[in-house]
């Protein structure tokens, strides 16, 4: 259903779309009609394609009704048929959203809620890739950060300064994954003859988060129409003469919640 909602967006980025499933053709025909699916759904009798790609879930017993299911995920192929990127999760209940994949593979930032904040050292716009989430959704918060004139903030590296980072307030249904950092550059702080990893030009951080799909989480989320994620961007900024105290910028995003389509 999410793929259908994003179908035109994918086409606009030059991406084709097809889904392979072990379900029978008649099942897919019924689902296509009921849900208004307009992209190809490919039935894989005996899970031949699934096995060829090495995706068969071998933990399912051969005599089980569910035998033949794959480890669900997404491949992005180039025009030459070679795999350029792939996105898979350990738990079958969790799925990368389309907008999150696009944010990690292109300049797309999605259509979810965004907030903008400014400090004496930088400005940041932090937007969620998705406006609607469900149990099992793995989506992204994209941070577009612009240091002020003459300022730099610290990237991961061999130093003791506060690295720019993201922290979320705990929620029982929320898991935050490691931040994706872009390449940094080396800054020479002449007064101390230090060379450290920093960001001076505008840069992007991508923070993935997953909404739990456990029975307890589904029960809790079923009673909610929206959820609010709260957290903060943390950093330390310096200019050519002064290193400022570490700073925390509070941020929040409110997302709509929908139940799983079964």
Domain boundary among 50, 79, 105: 105
pLDDT reported for residue 191 = 80
Query: Are 213 and 91 contacting, i.e. CB atoms less than 8 angstroms apart?
Result: yes
Helices (H), 13-131: 25-35, 48-52, 98-105
3-state DSSP assignment of residue 55: coil
How would you class 148 by CB atoms within 10 Å of its CB: exposed for 0-12, middle for 13-18, buried for 19 or more?
middle
Rounded distance between C-alpha atoms, residue 178 and residue 165, angstroms: 10
Are 132 and 16 found together in one domain? no
Rounded distance between C-alpha atoms, residue 138 and residue 151, angstroms: 33
Are 88 and 208 found together in one domain? no
Are 23 and 80 found together in one domain? yes
The model's pLDDT over 215-233, given as tens digits with 9 standing for 90+, comes to: 999 999 999 999 999 999 9
Domain that holds residue 135: 114-257
Can you name the residues that pair with 126 across neighbouring β-strands? 115, 143
The model's pLDDT over 6-58, given as tens digits with 9 standing for 90+, comes to: 898 888 888 999 999 999 999 999 999 999 999 999 999 899 999 998 999 88
3-state DSSP assignment of residue 27: helix
Domain boundary among 88, 105, 122: 105
Rounded distance between C-alpha atoms, residue 115 and residue 111, angstroms: 12
pLDDT at residue 262 above 80? no
Could you tell me the CATH number of the domain that includes residue 62? 3.40.30.10
Output the six-digit token pair for 110. Answer: 């999605």
3-state DSSP assignment of residue 162: coil
Output the six-digit token pair for 65. Answer: 């009704």
The model's pLDDT over 129-148, given as tens digits with 9 standing for 90+, comes to: 999 999 999 999 999 999 99
pLDDT at residue 73 above 70? yes
Are 72 and 7 found together in one domain? yes
Categorize the per-residue pLDDT at 261 as very low, low, confident or very high, splitting at 50, 70 and 90. low
Closest CA to 35 of 59, 5, 80, 64: 5
Output the six-digit token pair for 161. Answer: 């300064």
Are 154 and 133 found together in one domain? yes
pLDDT at residue 260 above 80? no
pLDDT at residue 2 above 90? no
Closest CA to 113 of 229, 214, 247: 229
Supply the pTM of this predicted model.
Answer: 0.87
pLDDT reported for residue 125 = 97
Tell whether 262 is covered by a domain.
no
Side by side, the strands of the sheet bearing 185-189 are: 185-189, 194-199, 152-154, 237-238
Are 141 and 250 found together in one domain? yes
pLDDT at residue 91 above 80? no
The model's pLDDT over 176-214, given as tens digits with 9 standing for 90+, comes to: 999 999 999 999 988 888 899 999 999 999 999 999 999
Query: Are 103 and 206 contacting, i.e. CB atoms less than 8 angstroms apart?
Result: yes
Categorize the per-residue pLDDT at 110 as very low, low, confident or very high, splitting at 50, 70 and 90. confident
User: What's the whole-number mean pLDDT along residues 64-83?
Assistant: 90
Output the six-digit token pair for 75. Answer: 């491949």
């Amino acid at each position: 259903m999410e793929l259908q909602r994003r179908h035109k967006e994918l086409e606009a980025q030059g991406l084709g779309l097809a889904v392979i499933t072990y379900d029978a053709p008649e099942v897919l025909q019924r689902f296509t009609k009921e849900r208004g699916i307009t992209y190809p759904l490919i039935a894989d009798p005996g899970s031949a394609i699934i096995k060829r790609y090495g995706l068969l879930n071998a933990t399912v017993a051969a005599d089980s009704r569910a035998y033949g299911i794959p480890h669900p995920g997404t491949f992005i192929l180039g025009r030459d048929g070679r795999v350029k990127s792939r996105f898979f999760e350990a738990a079958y209940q969790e799925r990368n959203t389309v907008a999150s994949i696009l944010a990690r593979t292109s300049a797309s930032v999605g259509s979810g809620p965004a907030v903008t904040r400014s400090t004496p050292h930088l400005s940041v716009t932090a937007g969620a890739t998705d406006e609607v989430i469900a149990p099992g959704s793995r989506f992204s918060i994209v941070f577009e950060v612009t240091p002020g004139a003459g300022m730099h903030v610290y990237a991961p590296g061999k130093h003791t300064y506060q690295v720019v980072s993201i922290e979320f307030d705990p929620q029982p249904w929320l898991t935050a994954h490691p931040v994706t950092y872009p390449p940094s550059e080396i800054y020479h702080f002449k007064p101390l003859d230090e060379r450290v990893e920093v960001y001076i030009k505008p840069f992007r951080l991508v923070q993935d988060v997953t909404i739990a799909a456990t029975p307890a989480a589904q029960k809790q989320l079923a009673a909610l129409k929206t959820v609010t994620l709260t957290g903060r961007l943390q950093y330390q900024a310096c200019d050519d003469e002064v290193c400022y105290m570490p700073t925390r910028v509070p941020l929040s995003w409110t997302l709509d919640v929908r139940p799983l389509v079964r």
